[in-house]
Amino acid sequence: MKVFKSKKEQGFTLLEVLVSVLVFSFGLLGIAGMMTISVRNNHNGYLRSQANFLAENMMDRMRSNPTALWAGAYNGLAANGTTDCSLTGTPPVTGTPCNFNQLAAYDTESWARSLAQYLPAGQGTITCVANSALSAFINPASPPSIWFPAPPFDGVCTITIQWNEADRDSAQSAQTLSLVGQP
């Protein structure tokens, strides 16, 4: 049996198709706006995790060199520089080996380079405060060695990292991370 329909009921008109395309395109514009916000927030989260990783990395470096930490060699603003001692090479090392304070200078210099590389306008500052003096624990006439190491640091260190990230309006917003701990 054949059912006949009038011409008015046979399909969509051009006007209906244009309206549906317009509504669909507004939905796509909303999704595109959400995607740009999502990408920006994802990148800001990445920067924050990098800052946290770099702060923990510096805390580990300080923990591995307690003699320089007791001497206050890590305190201050981390800046690029050139350490004049040898840290690498195959035995025998051709340069002069680093002492504890030179190793601390190397650590802060490489940390400053990492901050500048991984964070936009990244800068770091370290402030350590000891509860007692090192001389109470070891003899200053004989520097620490593998046989008589320096005791663990009994104070607190604050590692502060500053960098810029994009805010809601794509402008630069200053961010700060502070890690307080005992190395």
42 domain-assigned: yes
CB contact at 8 A, 176 and 55: no
Please list the ranges in the chain whose pLDDT falls under 70: 1-12, 82-96, 133-148
50 domain-assigned: yes
What is the pLDDT at residue 49?
Answer: 95
8 domain-assigned: no
Which residues make Cβ contacts (< 8 Å) with residue 155, sequence separation at least 6?
A: 128, 129, 130, 131, 182
2 domain-assigned: no
Domain ranges, residue 112: 15-140+149-181
67 domain-assigned: yes
What is the pLDDT at residue 100?
Answer: 85
7 domain-assigned: no
What is the pLDDT at residue 178?
Answer: 95
Q: How many domains does the chain have?
A: 1
10 domain-assigned: no
What is the pLDDT at residue 159?
Answer: 96
75 domain-assigned: yes
Q: What separation in angstroms does the CA of 113 have from each of 54, 89, 108?
A: 11, 21, 9
What is the pLDDT at residue 33?
Answer: 84
